[in-house]
Amino acid sequence: MNGMTVSKSFALFVVLLFLSFPGFGQNNRADKIIGEWINEDKNEAVEIYKRDDRYFGKLIYAKDLLQRDGKSYPQDVKNPDSNLRQRNLYSIDILLGFQYQDDQWEGGSLYDPKSGRTYSCLMKLQDGTLQIRGYIGIPLLGRSSYWTRTP
């Protein structure tokens, strides 16, 4: 065997060994949620992104996201935190702090700027559709919304 063949074989062995670690492939599956998603009514969209090891979603489109003047954004007036009521709704995080575990994103919350309420939430990706389930207490007592990736 010449030196070139041995080094190629060794490199292939190292790559295969690295890919066989359980945690390595998990990040690829977890990151499939990253991107822009639009709700089933086609009137809201979020951009899901990753910060550190958690996933967040910011509001990037809503049918009523602009004021009547067509130029300014409404403020988060229903937020229970009075310090946040002056912020614009555009680009606020409405999906907060999810971690990937057992083929779903959990441990996060969903903020609804229309009501000012925050719900526990989990998300699942099935056949290209993102199921977002907001709930109080247990997931069984919640409501699901189904989002598709924007083209």
pTM (predicted TM-score): 0.78
Q: What is the reported pLDDT for 68?
A: 78
Question: Taking phi first (over 0 means left), then psi (-120 to 50 degrees means alpha), and beta for anything else, what does residue 53 get?
Answer: alpha
In a domain, 14, yes or no: no
In a domain, 67, yes or no: yes
Instruction: Compute the radius of gyration of the chain from its Cα atoms.
Output: 20
- Which amino acid would we find at residue 108? G
Q: What is the reported pLDDT for 72?
A: 84
* CATH number of the domain to which 134 belongs: 2.40.128.520
Q: What is the reported pLDDT for 3?
A: 55
Q: Domain range for residue 85?
A: 25-149
- Considering its fold, how many domains does the chain have in total? 1
In a domain, 102, yes or no: yes
Mean pLDDT in order along the chain per 10 residues (151 residues)? 51 39 60 96 95 96 80 90 94 96 96 95 95 93 94 82
Q: Which residues contact 143 (CB under 8 A, 6 or more apart)?
A: 133, 134, 135
In a domain, 129, yes or no: yes
Q: What is the reported pLDDT for 16?
A: 37
CA–CA distance, 47 with 144 (Å, rounded to integer): 18
In a domain, 82, yes or no: yes
In a domain, 96, yes or no: yes
